[in-house]
Amino acid sequence: MSKKGKVVLAYSGGLDTSVAVVWLKEQGYDVITMTADVGQQAVDLEAAKSKALRTGAEKAYVLDLKKRFVEQFVWPSLKANGMYQSVYPLNSALSRPLIAEVLVEIAKKEGAVAIAHGCTGKGQDQVRIEVCSNALEPDLVVLAPVRDWRFSREAEMEYAQAHGIPVQATHASPYSIDDNIWGRSIECGILEDPWNEPPYDAYALTCEPEEAPDHPEHVEIQFENGIPVAIDGVHMDGPTLVARLNEQAGRHGVGRIDMVEDRLVGFKSREVYECPAAITLINAHRALETLTLDKKTLAAKKELEAKFGELTYEGYWFSPLKDAINAFIDETQQYVNGTVKVRLYKGMAVVRGMKSPKSVYSETLATYSDKDGFDHTAAVGFIKIWGLPIKTWRQVHETKEAVRIVAR
């Protein structure tokens, strides 16, 4: 078979991408793998590199992208309180534009004719990676071996076994795992039936809430311009801060999500997530915004947050609309400074206090004590003007109705 050139494959070492290396070689490509370290725990990165080379890859990149991921993708999402359908904090969705970006960078560096991924034809990751890569480099071909193959998961495992490719998934435990520093996604197997409760072995970052410590733990999270910078007064970089909160909140069973979500490709899917740090930080950040932003800005931002979540989920990270939403959100975040106290207890991350040097909360205006500084006399005129449209409407239409009754 004639050589077709180089292809850069997004490689996790899991079932889909492990079999993709062999398949691409069989199609005549020289395979270069790219394994992104975005803080995942499920994959031994050096072992993944070794397996890629043993399987037939010509070259294997393993890149530490944790800092880039947190600063350029996670923090913008946190500032937007980024969630899809108000539940899913976008952990997997956020990593896809970064993966696409790096695939394109390596393809240019290596002179590759194509990039490839291990996504199936039923998932949204295929859309995210391909839409993002097409936006960044329209002339680059994108290959999807698993989608074009149309193998079932069971058939993939049999193919891997026949070619001597070791994989974690087994017929007894066929979970598909995707994780990064922002959270962990679990699907397939027994989870495909929404009636089935997720088994204990599906979780790795969180304990069972009822088995969590009987005493709560309080953490104080400091924010600057909407970004968390310190825990309990200790400043740290983004990846360190998120990793620490994953451990602390996970120890208390915080961050478990079990939902049926509407997939981009047109059907519903049962998804299970673990996102201890994400849930804790979003709760804290959202609370601090209520202290530092005005009512109208909060209302407008809430609408744009939903659109941000949709665009990210749907692969439109590099779209002009998402850029415009980011610009609005960044403008608001200059005021989101302060410290939030969060109680971690039995699966819950509850805000128990907050303070800010830019707080627009006034105790003098809010108090009912003798320190009350609110001008009560202003209420009379305000009520008259505020209710004038309704009063006028009722007067006009009730008068007309009265005339009709008399006429009868």
Asked if residue 345 has pLDDT above 90, the reply is yes
- pTM across the whole model: 0.91
* High-pLDDT (> 70) share of the chain, %: 95
Instruction: Based on the fold, state whether residues 284 and 375 are members of the same structural domain.
Output: no
**Strand ranges, E, within 160-275:** 176-180, 183-187, 217-224, 227-231, 234-235, 256-262, 268-274
Active-site annotation holds for 30: no
Instruction: Based on the fold, state whether residues 197 and 214 are members of the same structural domain.
Output: yes
Asked if residue 172 has pLDDT above 80, the reply is no
Average pLDDT of the segment spanning 102-122: 94
Instruction: Based on the fold, state whether residues 376 and 245 are members of the same structural domain.
Output: no
Which pLDDT band holds residue 167 (cuts at 50, 70, 90)? low
Number of domains in the chain: 3
In the structure encoding, which two tokens stand for residue 276, read together? 């201890």
Q: Domain span at residue 381? A: 369-408
Average pLDDT of the segment spanning 181-186: 96
Strands 183-187 and 268-274: antiparallel
How far apart (Å, rounded) are the C-alpha atoms in residues 190 and 96? 26
Instruction: Based on the fold, state whether residues 269 and 329 are members of the same structural domain.
Output: yes
Active-site annotation holds for 37: no
Catalytic residue chosen out of the listed positions 12, 30, 68, 96: 96
Instruction: Based on the fold, state whether residues 66 and 202 are members of the same structural domain.
Output: no
Average pLDDT of the segment spanning 50-67: 94
Average pLDDT of the segment spanning 249-265: 95
Instruction: Based on the fold, state whether residues 352 and 388 are members of the same structural domain.
Output: no
Average pLDDT of the segment spanning 49-62: 93
Among candidate residues 174, 196, 225, the one where a domain is terminated:
174
Active-site annotation holds for 125: yes
Catalytic residue chosen out of the listed positions 125, 133, 179, 185: 125
CATH number, domain containing residue 50: 3.40.50.620
Instruction: Based on the fold, state whether residues 59 and 110 are members of the same structural domain.
Output: yes
Average of per-residue pLDDT values in the chain: 92
User: Would you call 267 exposed, middle or buried from its count of C-beta atoms within 10 A (0-12, 13-18, 19+)?
Assistant: exposed
Among candidate residues 159, 174, 189, the one where a domain is terminated:
174
Closest among 275, 273, 327, 254 to 76, alpha carbons compared: 327
Instruction: Based on the fold, state whether residues 133 and 241 are members of the same structural domain.
Output: no
Active-site annotation holds for 16: yes
Choice among 149-163, 304-318, 366-380 with the minimum mean pLDDT: 149-163
Instruction: Based on the fold, state whether residues 14 and 125 are members of the same structural domain.
Output: yes
Instruction: Based on the fold, state whether residues 168 and 225 are members of the same structural domain.
Output: no
More confident residue, 14 or 329: 329
**According to the 3-state scheme, what is the secondary structure of 37-52?**
ECCCCCCCHHHHHHHH
CATH number, domain containing residue 256: 3.90.1260.10
Instruction: Based on the fold, state whether residues 110 and 140 are members of the same structural domain.
Output: yes
Instruction: Based on the fold, state whether residues 192 and 230 are members of the same structural domain.
Output: yes
Among candidate residues 174, 209, 226, the one where a domain is terminated:
174
Catalytic residue chosen out of the listed positions 95, 133, 176, 356: 176
Q: Please tell me what DSSP assigns to residue 225.
A: T
Which pLDDT band holds residue 357 (cuts at 50, 70, 90)? very high
Catalytic residue chosen out of the listed positions 16, 30, 178, 179: 16
How far apart (Å, rounded) are the C-alpha atoms in residues 276 and 92? 14
Asked if residue 250 has pLDDT above 90, the reply is yes
- Model pLDDT, residue 178: 87
